[in-house]
Amino acid sequence: MIPSKRILIVDDEPRSRQGLAKMLEAWSAGRHRIRTADNGYEALRILESEPVHLLLSDIRMPEISGLQLAGSGERVSWPNQPAVILISGYAEFEYAQKAIELGVTRYLLKPVSREKLLDAVERALETEEQRSRLGLIEKVADPQLLTAAVHQLAVSEPVEEALRYMDEHLHLPFTLREVAEQIHLNASYFSVLFKEQMGMTFSEYVTRRRLQKAKEMLLQTRLPIAEIAERAGYQSAKYFSKIFKEYEGTSPGAYRSET
C-alpha cells in the first residue's frame, strides 16, 4: 500500500470542491490527508509550506489557473514535487495539449464520475511514488561508486569476496588487514589488487559506501545522527560529521533538512 500522502484539491466552486473532497475522504478512509483551497494563491501557500504529493486542480480559476499552478516556476522551491491532475468543464484541445506539455499526470472533464476520479488519483499517486524513489536514488548516488560498480563486473573472486564481506559488515569497524585475512591474502597484495580492480583505494571505497548508507538513513528515517553514524560504522558522531562534510560539502543535519 502507498504510504500516507497529502492530496490538495483546488477549485473556486464550493460545491465542486466539497464534492471532490467528500469522494476522496470516503475512499481514503483516513489513509491520506485531504486538503482544499478555493483559489490559486491559497494553493501556492500550501504547496510552498508543506509537502503535497498530489495536486488536483480545476483548470479555469480567477487570477491563478490550474495550468499556472501546474507550470509554476516556483515548483523547484516546493518541499515536494506533486503529481498533477487537472479538471475542466471545457473539452477544448488547447487545454489538454498544454496540460500534456506541463507533464500533468491526468486530465479529466467535468462532471467527474467517482470511478474515473479514483482511478486517476490511484494512478497519479503511484506515479508520484515512483518519481520519489528515483529522486532518492539520484540523491544518494555516488558517481565514484557507480564507476566502481562497473569495475566490479570484472573483478577477481578474492576481491568479490572482500566486497561481500565489507558490505555485510559496514556497521562494524574493520581494517584492510582484517579483510585481507578473511579472504586469505597478504594485506599489501590485497591493497594493490583492490585499487587495480576497483579504481579506488580500499579506504576510499569503505568511506564512500558508509556515507552512502548514512545518506539513505538520513533521508528515509528519523534516527538521531549519532545513531546513524554508529549504524554506518563510525564510532564517533563528531568524526562522522567531519567526514560527511568533507565529501558532501554540508553537515548531515543540513543534508537531511534540505530534502
* Counts for the chain of helices (H) and strands (E), in that order: 13, 5
212-233 per-position pLDDT tens digit: 999 989 988 889 999 999 999 9
Say yes or no: 131 and 201 in one domain: no
Residue 84 placed within a domain: yes
CATH number of domain containing 71: 3.40.50.2300
Closest CA to 205 of 245, 240, 167, 156: 167
130 and 175 belong to one structural domain: no
Residue 1 within any structural domain of the chain: no
Share of the chain above pLDDT 90, in %: 58
Q: How high is the pLDDT of residue 1? A: 46
Average pLDDT over the chain reads 88
Domain boundary residue, one of 79, 111, 137: 137
d(CA 96, CA 137): 32
Our count of domains for the chain comes to 2
Q: Any idea which of 87-101, 116-130, 150-164, 233-247 has the lowest mean pLDDT?
A: 87-101
Are residues 129 and 195 both part of a single domain?
Answer: no
Q: Which stretch of 140-144, 164-168, 235-239 has the lowest confidence by average pLDDT? A: 140-144
> Could you tell me if 252 and 229 lie in one domain?
yes
Residue 166's pLDDT is: 94
Choosing from 137, 160, 185, the residue where a domain stops is 137
Domain boundary among 93, 112, 137: 137
Given this model, what pLDDT does residue 76 score? 64
* Residue 93 and residue 206 in one domain: no
Considering the domain architecture, whether residues 16 and 130 belong to the same structural domain is answered as yes
Q: Note whether residue 46 is domain-resident.
A: yes
- pLDDT tier, 74 (very low <50, low <70, confident <90, very high otherwise): low
Q: Do 113 and 149 fall within a single domain?
A: no
What's the pLDDT score for residue 137? Answer: 75
User: What is the arithmetic mean of pLDDT over 89-104?
Assistant: 68
Residue closest to 40 by CA, chosen among 68, 21, 15, 19: 68
CA distance 140 to 61: 39
On whether residue 41 sits in a domain, the answer given is yes
Indicate if the pLDDT at residue 23 is higher than 80.
yes
Question: Alpha carbon of 240 to those of 68, 207, 209, 226, 229: distances in Å?
Answer: 44, 10, 13, 9, 6
Q: Which range of residues forms the domain containing residue 106?
A: 6-137
Q: Residues 114-131: pLDDT tens digits?
A: 999 999 999 989 888 888
Same domain, 133 and 193: no
CATH of the domain at 153: 1.10.10.60
How confident is the model over 49-53, as a mean pLDDT? 91
